[in-house]
Amino acid sequence: MGRELGVRYVLEGSVRRDSSRVRITAQLVDASTGTQVWTERYERPYDDIFALQDEIAQAVVGAIAPSLRRAEIRRVSRKRPDSLDAYDLVLRAQPDVDSGMPEQVTRALVLLERAIALEPAYALAHGNAAMCHHCLYLRAGLHKSERTASIRHARSAIALGQDDALALTWAGFSIGMDAHDRAAAFTALEAALAISPSSALTYILGSVMLAWGGEAERAIEWSQQGLRLSPFDSWAWAAFDAQALGHFHRGRFEDAAQAAYRAVQANPAHSITHVQLAAALARLGRLEDASAAAARVLELQPTFRYGRQFSGVNCAPALAAALGDALHIAGLLK
């Protein structure tokens, strides 16, 4: 079927109605191998078929996007390195981009720079490169050159990717976090959502910016929407980070610790997940556990100093003060 349609993947499903309810099954199949990439079943009341249609369509699109991305990454990993085109290079770089940590994103940049050399106007490659330089800026010494490169690639991604939701999302995040222009950042994110309303990554990265900006409740709402759209997204850890920050800012330290634990579980090699955990545990009086989390921060990011970090992300002053006090108790330095 895939060959007849000229597609690599096929989405198929069925609909059954039983009295006042409808059951819908859907699966995504790799047409070249017949392998099932993703499957899900939805059961809803049959009271408003048009609203149901919109709900299921958004749920399916949001759910299959990360599954499709993983399948494509597995596909390009089997190709010879000398046969990779720009799209393949971006896909191969993606897992290291998603790590958010310096060693991995440095590897990713090698591939992304090859992609940009092949296709200088490739918006998604510029967007991913912006994210890599953002990570290097924040977690590898706060060097101005990395901040400048992040902003430069982000602006290229916005200029070249007006029809690319992912490129706009990566770019918006870098503009918000590194250029400290959250108004411009959310203009890019809103454009991304206009193109792809089910873009979980847009909601997740938006939630991170909202959390650092001190908009706790809105950050939690955006993070929850991102996780509803893509519960097992490769960036789910960032959604939990945003929730941890939001709850901490509102003084809900038990909720903050639970969200931070989930962030650590989703991405244990990311230093900032342990920062959120150390702060929440310190406020709960669990000083031994907080100290252990702080030690893990320094293992992953030896140069971490919370004052410089908060300045780098333009953290809201009240949140920075509260987090700083907690991290000082946990044993981290300003």
The pLDDT score that the predictor gives to residue 232 is: 82
Residue type, 334: K
Q: Are residues 56 and 149 in the same domain?
A: no
E strand residue ranges, the chain: 9-18, 21-30, 36-45
CATH number for position 202: 1.25.40.10
The total number of residues shown for the chain amounts to 334
Q: Are residues 213 and 334 in the same domain?
A: yes
What pLDDT, in 10s, does the model give residues 177-204? 999 999 999 999 999 999 998 899 999 9
**Same structural domain for residues 212 and 332?**
yes
Say how many domains are in the chain.
3
Whether the per-residue pLDDT at 174 is higher than 60: the answer is yes
Residue where one domain finishes, among candidates 144, 176, 194? 194
Same domain? 313 vs 206: yes
Residue 54 lies in a domain: yes
Do 35 and 47 have their domain in common?
yes
- Per the structure block, which two tokens stand in for 42? 């939805």
Same domain, yes or no, for 209 and 258?
yes
Q: Are residues 273 and 184 in the same domain?
A: no
Which structural domain, as residue segments, surrounds residue 89?
79-194
Q: Are residues 52 and 134 in the same domain?
A: no
Count of beta carbons in the 10 Å neighbourhood of residue 292: 16
Assigned domain for 71 exists:
no
Average pLDDT across the chain, whole number: 90
The answer to whether residue 73 is domain-embedded is: no
Residue-wise pLDDT tens digits, 89-141: 999 999 999 999 999 999 999 999 999 999 999 999 999 999 999 999 999 99
User: Tokens standing for 43?
Assistant: 């059961």
